Amino acid sequence: MKYRFTNVALFGALCLVCTQVGHTRLLENWPYEKLIKNSDLVVIAETVRIEPTKDTLSVPGWKEIDWAGRNTVFKVKSVIKGKAEKDQVTVLHFRINRVRGVLLINGPLLANFKEKQEYLLFLRKRQDGRFELVSGQIDPVLAVRKISLPLHMIFDEK
Question: pLDDT, tens digit, for every residue of 79-108?
Answer: 999 999 899 999 999 998 888 777 777 788
Question: pLDDT, tens digit, for every residue of 26-42?
Answer: 888 999 999 999 999 99
d(CA 120, CA 44): 5
Residue type, 26: L
Comparing CA positions, the residue from 74, 64, 144 lying closest to residue 116 is 74
* 54 pLDDT higher than 60: yes
Question: pLDDT, tens digit, for every residue of 102-125?
Answer: 777 778 899 999 999 999 999 999
Query: pLDDT grade, residue 10 (50/70/90)?
Result: low
* 21 pLDDT higher than 80: no
Q: What is the pLDDT of residue 139?
A: 92
Q: What is the pLDDT of residue 143?
A: 97
* Cα atoms in the Cβ-side hemisphere of radius 13 Å centred on 138: 12
Q: What is the pLDDT of residue 79?
A: 96
Question: Could you write out the DSSP letters of every residue in 80-139?
Answer: EES--SSSEEEEEEEEEEEE-SS---S--------TT-EEEEEEEE-TTS-EEETT-SSS
